[in-house]
Amino acid sequence: MTETHVSADTIRSIFSAAMTQMYRDEVPRYQEMTRIVGEIDGEALARDPALEARLRRSGAFDLIGVERHGAIRVGRPEELAGLRRLFAVMGMYPVGYYDLTPAGVPVHSTCFRPVEAASIRRCPFRIFTSLLRPELIEGEDLRREAQEILARRRIFTPRCLHLIEIFEANGGLGEALAIEFVHEALHTFRWRGEATVTAGVYEAYRKAHPLVADVVCFHGPHINHLTLPTLDIDAAQQALAERGLDPKSIVEGPPQRQFPILLRQTSFKAIAEPVRFAGRDEARGEHRARFGEIEQRGAALTAKGRALYDRLLAETLAANPPRDGATSDYRAELERRFAAFPDDAATLRAQGLAFFRYAPGENRGARGDVETLLRDGALIAEPITYEDFLPVSAAGIFQSNLGEGGRRELSASANREAFEHALGTKVADEMAIYAHEEKSSLERALAALGQRSPMAENAGR
């Protein structure tokens, strides 16, 4: 008898809901943030009567209030490889490589995420996953000891590993096993309030780098934040401050625009949680690692658009870096610099700065090239949402949650090869995913209109 398999999208939905419940229980401030964001989104919908219809068209309406991402940090290559197998059960695959060393954080990262647009619509949940680079821990003794400590821990339950094997052998899990899998997988990401090392060892790592202490001194990769989408991140940021949730001082990413691009995000700073240390004296202390985040996503940019974004952001940071107490100067500088970034769909498309998804429009009779079809309403182009992350923003999120000493001068460079070796596979290229989606949507739309694709014409030349 063959039992029907539960789809990966469904397992991811169950997992995301269970993870959210767990995090709300563990971090009450996250629950408070959820309520505030709900109010802000409600106000945004009430203020702009056309917004709901727009969101319904793109499928985003049903995803209001649904967690978009979370983040974890692991210490050993084997742990990262294990996570790859675990996330595959839920249809989450590694996309993108992020080097965080320029920002003084000794990790490199990827994002495990659904890739197909339809899967993202069903459940957008993804996990930003960082791997410690132990070679960047200062001090030979600390470096060696960190690897010994990490080598002793097991971050997956035996049953979880067994269920992953069943999934790999059969290509899926039936309902009972899928539910059991989610239950077992959650153990990996749970916070236990218990260090695996003594208070003295913890303190030594915290001094070396607070992130290293967070990775090395605990039982596993506790979920360190979840992220809700919001319809108005500027209003949400202000509301978090007014209600005393202590948000970071600036919103990361591009400024507010008519035509949103990439990703804007902000977070409340990590809370202090009680910790019991190992050792006979059972010393108590606290640890700050876990926080809550909100994000607002816009269009994915082409390589050309991204280069412009990176340049304008670098110029902003060089001219007027965010300083506590002078964040409005930074905001003003950012807005001034980004005046150079076109802010309407037509220009962004014409200049090849953003990716678009094409669909047949109302006027099916029109003929001509793509520009003509768009002008005559035979084709419509909607921006493709950016589903990935931004290293400079991610660094800002890391920094604001590590407290003092989160920033070090690291004389290291990206090491994608080592990361992929640890992962056991290559990470997918996010640009290729967006480019493919744009091209295939255009081909489908033209075929539906009974037109030859411009690619086919080019190929014939």
Q: Which parts of this chain interact with ligand OOG (CB under 6 A)? A: 71, 73, 128, 130, 224, 265, 293, 389, 393-394, 397-398, 401
| Identity of the residue, 73 or 349, whose beta carbon is nearer to Ni ion in the bound complex | 73
Which option in ligand OOG, Ni ion, none does residue 302 bind, with CB closer than 5 to 8 A by kind?
none
| Identity of the residue, 13 or 227, whose beta carbon is nearer to Ni ion in the bound complex | 227
| Identity of the residue, 22 or 278, whose beta carbon is nearer to Ni ion in the bound complex | 22
Which option in ligand OOG, Ni ion, none does residue 398 bind, with CB closer than 5 to 8 A by kind?
ligand OOG
- Termini Cα distance of the chain: 55
Over the window 258 to 297, marking each residue x when it contacts Ni ion by CB under 5 A and - when it does not, the resulting string is -----------------------------------x----
Which option in Ni ion, ligand OOG, none does residue 73 bind, with CB closer than 5 to 8 A by kind?
ligand OOG
Asked whether 225 and 292 are in contact (CB, 8 A), the reply is: yes
| Identity of the residue, 197 or 228, whose beta carbon is nearer to ligand OOG in the bound complex | 228
| Identity of the residue, 181 or 398, whose beta carbon is nearer to ligand OOG in the bound complex | 398
Over the window 66 to 85, marking each residue x when it contacts Ni ion by CB under 5 A and - when it does not, the resulting string is -----x--------------
Task: Specify whether the backbone of 226 is left (phi greater than 0), alpha (psi in -120 to 50) or beta.
Answer: beta
Radius of gyration of the chain (CA): 23
Q: Other C-beta atoms within 10 Å of 190: how many? A: 16
Residue 142 CB, nearest distance to ligand OOG (Å)? 21
3 state DSSP class of 112: strand
Tokens found for residue 374: 């768009």
Q: Other C-beta atoms within 10 Å of 126: how many? A: 26
Q: Rounded distance, CA 326 to CA 329, Å? A: 6
Residue 268 CB, nearest distance to ligand OOG (Å)? 13
> Residue 329: CA atoms inside 13 Å, Cβ hemisphere, count?
10
| Identity of the residue, 69 or 349, whose beta carbon is nearer to ligand OOG in the bound complex | 69
DSSP state of 259: S
H or E stretch including 359?
A: strand 356-360
Residue 227 CB, nearest distance to Ni ion (Å)? 5
**Would you give the distance in Å from CA 449 to the centre of its chain?**
37
Q: Rounded distance, CA 40 to CA 32, Å? A: 13
3 state DSSP class of 367: coil
Write the single-letter amino acid at 310: D
Q: Could you tell me which of 236, 284, 226, 227 has the C-alpha nearest to residue 256?
A: 236
Which option in ligand OOG, Ni ion, none does residue 196 bind, with CB closer than 5 to 8 A by kind?
none
Candidates 31-39, 49-57, 160-168, 226-234; binding stretch for Ni ion (CB under 5 A): 226-234
Residue 68 CB, nearest distance to ligand OOG (Å)? 9
Residue 71 CB, nearest distance to ligand OOG (Å)? 4
Which option in Ni ion, ligand OOG, none does residue 137 bind, with CB closer than 5 to 8 A by kind?
none
Q: Rounded distance, CA 331 to CA 192, Å? A: 39
| Identity of the residue, 87 or 356, whose beta carbon is nearer to ligand OOG in the bound complex | 87
- The binding site for Ni ion (CB under 5 A) comprises 71, 227, 293
